[in-house]
Each structure stands twice: as structure tokens, then as C-alpha cells.
Amino acid sequence: MRNIDFDKFSEHSLVLRNYAKNFDTQLLEEIENIVKQNDFRHMKTPKGHQMSASMTNCGEYGWVSDKFGYRYEKTDPKTNQPWPKMPEIFRDLARSAADDSGYINFESDACLINRYRPKAAMALHQDKDEHDFTQPIVSISLGISVTFLFGGLTRTEKPVTKELHHGDIVVWGGPDRLRFHGVRPLKNNTHPLVGPLRFNLTLRKAN
């Protein structure tokens, strides 16, 4: 029997503490391998602001942002090449975390990889570029800790905060899928395995 240490954002969203911890080295190796094929870059918002987190993708679809808007693409507009293949461990870990959270048989076809250095942040936003909001989103945190902001269905609702640490997996579903969310600027810090960085893998069913 497995004893899962979890924490709730709400009835529909769980933090599975340390769920990815035993796979951290393997996950980091897969990220390194993806980055050799498709490096991190700072994308621009449609309004021309550079994002402070840098990003790359793997899987059938990748999330991109530029002056033409936010969207999922099968090929990287920078290289016109398909995104690197989704590592099995990403898909399997996301499926297993979703199963354990009550969202059975989650099939992800897109993985956005965010890399944060100290001071990088992500402003409150909604994830609305996917086609099916009944599918959950699974997020895997690696490296230095961050304060996550969990808002409401409108921008003005005051967010609740929770610390996310190395190895934590969050599964967001049901009505929480469209909540505003973001992360506070990262504190100056360093993680023994990852260094002065935070990686976040976001697994989604885009199409």
C-alpha cells in the first residue's frame, strides 16, 4: 500500500507532496536531453513584453506565444521542426498523479517546460488555449521552491498562496481549470541537485 502525502487547494485540485522525488534525476536528464534538441527561449507576449521565465516544449503540441498570439503548434515556429518527443516518464508520472487525484486515464499530448531563475515570476493568468477544459492539468515542480498564487475565476479575486517544492506534483481539474493563477518572483536560492533554478513541467491535453 502506498501512502500519498497530499495537500488540497480545493475539492478539485491536489498537491501531491514529493510525488516526483524518486524520479528527480531521471526527469532532469530528460530535460537536459530535450534542451539539446530545442533550447529554452524567452517568448514574447502578443503585446511585446518578454516573459521572465524561459520556455521549451516536448510532445505532439507545444505552447507558443509571439505577436500573433498564444496557441499550440505541432512545430516550433523558430525552427519549423516538430517538438522533441515526450519522454515516457513525463506522460506516465502525469497519468499516475491524475489517477491518484481522481482524474482517470489522463492522456497528455503537450508538455510546456518553464525555467525560472531567481526574480523570474509568472503574472496571474488563465490557461485557455486548450480545447477541452474537462481535462485536468498536471504540474511537476523541480528545483528551488516557489510561492504559487491560486486565484478565482475573475482577476480581482484575492489569490490564496501555497509553497511548491522540489518533487511536488499538482493536479488541477473541474471548475479550477479556469482559475487565475501565477507564481511570485523567485527568491535568491539554490537547490542541491538543480542549482539556482526552478523547472516546472506542465502536462496538458491541448487537442
CA distance 161 to 183: 9
Query: Measured at CB, which residue is nearest to Fe ion?
Result: 127
Using CB under 6 A as the binding criterion, the count of chain residues that bind ligand MD3 stands at 15
d(CA 92, CA 106): 9
Minimum Å distance from CB 114 to ligand MD3? 4
The answer to whether residue 16 forms part of the interface with ligand MD3 (CB under 6 A) is no
* Residue 120 and residue 40 in contact, taking contact as beta carbons nearer than 8 Å: no
Element (H, E) at 96: helix 88-100
Binding mask 162-191 for ligand MD3 (x = CB under 6 A): --------x-x---xx-x-x-x--------
Q: How far, in Å, CA of 83 to CA of 28, rounded?
A: 18
Q: DSSP of 2-20, one letter per residue?
A: ----EEEEETTEEEETTTT
Residue 170 binding: pick among Fe ion, ligand MD3, none (C-beta 5-8 Å cut-off by kind): ligand MD3
**Contact region with Fe ion (CB under 5 A), list: 18-26, 123-131, 148-156, 157-165:** 123-131
57 binds, among ligand MD3, Fe ion, none (CB under 5 to 8 A by kind): none
Per-residue x/- track, 131-160, ligand MD3 (CB under 6 A): ------x-x---------------------
Among the listed residues 30, 109, 127, 130, the single contact to Fe ion using CB under 5 A: 127
**Do residues 83 and 109 touch, judged by C-beta distance below 8 A?**
no
Q: Which of residues 19-58 bind ligand MD3 (CB under 6 A)?
A: none
- Taking CB under 5 A as the rule, does residue 130 contact Fe ion? no
What's the closest the beta carbon of residue 137 comes to Fe ion, in angstroms? 8
- Reference 89, options 159, 162, 142; nearest CA is 142
DSSP reduced 3-state for 100? helix
User: What value does the CA radius of gyration of the chain take, rounded to a whole number of Å?
Assistant: 16
CB under 8 Å to 49, separation ≥6 — which residues? none
- Which residues lie near ligand MD3 (CB under 6 A)? 112, 114, 122, 127, 137, 139, 170, 172, 176-177, 179, 181, 183, 200, 202
